[in-house]
Amino acid sequence: MKKAVAYLEPFMEQEKRDAGIENDDARGTFLIATVKGDVHDIGKNIVGVVLQCNNYKVIDLGVMVSSETILEEAEKHKVDMIGLSGLITPSLDEMVHVAREMKRKRMTIPLLIGGATTSAKHTAVRIAPVYDGPIIHVLDASRSVNVVEKLISKEHRDAFIADNVEVQKKLVASFQERKQKLVPYGEALEKRFATDWRTVQIDKPSFTGVRVLEDFPISEIRPYIDWSPFFMTWELKGKYPKIFDDAKVGPHAKELYDDANALLDEVIAARSLKANAAYGFWPAASDGDDVILFTDESRSSELTRFHFLRQQWERQGQKDYRSLADYIAPIDSGREDYIGGFVVTGGLGAETLALQYKTALDDYKALMVSAVADRLAEAFAELLHQKARQEWGFGKTESLSTEDLIEEKYRGIRPAAGYPACPDHTEKRTLFDLLEAEISTGVRLTESFAMTPAASVSGLYFAHPEARYFTVDRMLKDQVRDYARRKGMPLAEFERWLSPNLAYEPS
């Protein structure tokens, strides 16, 4: 276990000295969980290992844990504090719910918030107001010991909590004073990203419908791995391979890299991880901010629709307001266009393998399995996108290195539901149904539309020559109301799903 955080220990000890903590007398019990509907746990697991290395008792409830279970276990074990983790945006609302339940139960223990979608500002604005106890956002695992030590320390606790309250007050004030001009939805539609549909190049895929890649060789996926995010998982900042030359973190990065590749050798030899994919292309046309998918090339029968959101905020130097629908030829343009979609996983078997290592008390290798599976999923998505571009025709002349692929030096994009260009996670359901992904890949959606196994990636393919990624960001009620109408669902429901993007307070 110590090896899992060996590179963090000098930093952690320095933080303890900075906090004025000179000994290890003050220890307590820490409960940690990934909230209901979410399955991502690498960061949470690293926090757990870091705290155990510092002699804290850690009760790890795992993933997809309900508020009821979290609070029941907290009361049962008389824990000193609770830590919540989450990656997808619906988890933010679930964290608010847990905090409200803690208040209802008249709890006062500290609540720590962490995970990729969380932030100090969101914690201050949305979570802290609903709970009377201390609520602290923890930026990363290396900071967890410092935070926990201060909260446990009789000498430093009150001052730390008071400082945290002051910081959160400033964050709330900054949020309330933010200045971002948003235009009415109708105006944003009028100023959409424009294409000359008479002349733009539109290529026809070599097939339409769905294809499945089952038990794809991991040895073929391996060369597509982008290692830079792997080091970020372990909180080592630097770009691969230059990170190895860093005097401070280089040796640790090289050790992690060598261990990861040794594990990959083992996984490939033992076939202990399995990679599956499903992808496809469909005849398509845009209809406002919807994209219609047709059953066949006759384009006479609608199969389904993807629903997209549009930018409404004014950006300096930008004259258009983009929606992903802008990258598909309008239904009345006279052009025949296409859209693609995919689901991949590199994580089938990862949970079982990680559990084997945990049972053998090898937390380091258990963490490494999750980190490597995540990288395999992203690498498989990169490999499959390259294959899709070739089968779409326009990618046949590509001659790109792995570095070129990582830097996206190719035509087309693959945005994912729940991310900046299409923040609505519920659109995954349409994609999964189209691909019959649960059956064909083994990847399932949780009630919050997180994918499980966690080491999975899904998204859409757009081939427009000028397609690029963008951020929808905040929206006015006029667009959210129209979006709910187009989806045929209650406004209040989508205000909940899109709460991080709302520029107004729902009634």
Annotated catalytic residue 38: yes
297 Ramachandran zone, left/alpha/beta (phi>0; psi -120 to 50): alpha
Q: Which of 40, 137, 307, 425 is catalytic?
A: 40
Q: Which of 85, 91, 142, 458 is catalytic?
A: 91
The continuous run of DSSP H or E covering 196 comes out as: none
Virtual torsion, Cα 416, 417, 423, 427, nearest 10 deg: 160
Q: Which pair of structure tokens corresponds to residue 22? A: 């000179």
Q: Among residues 242, 51, 30, 255, which one has the least CA distance to residue 143? A: 51
Q: Which of 38, 290, 326, 337 is catalytic?
A: 38
Cβ burial, residue 297 (10 Å; 0-12/13-18/19+): exposed
Q: Which pair of structure tokens corresponds to residue 90? A: 């619906």
> What are residue 456's DSSP bridge partners?
345
């100090």: which residue's tokens? Answer: 120
Annotated catalytic residue 363: no
Q: Which pair of structure tokens corresponds to residue 58? A: 């850690």
| Pairing of β 29-34 and β 290-294 | unpaired
Give the strands of the sheet with 111-114, arranged side by side. 57-60, 29-34, 81-85, 111-114, 135-137
Amino acid at 280: G
In degrees and rounded to multiples of 5, residue 73 shows phi and psi of: -70, -35
Q: How far is CA 444 from CA 106, 418, 497, in A?
A: 36, 16, 19
Distance between CA atoms of 126 and 115, rounded to whole angstroms? 15
End-to-end CA distance of the chain: 49
The answer to whether 85 and 144 have CB atoms below 8 angstroms apart is no
Amino acid at 39: V
> What are residue 502's DSSP bridge partners?
475
Distance between CA atoms of 457 and 338, rounded to whole angstroms? 21
Catalytic residue annotation? 38, 40, 91
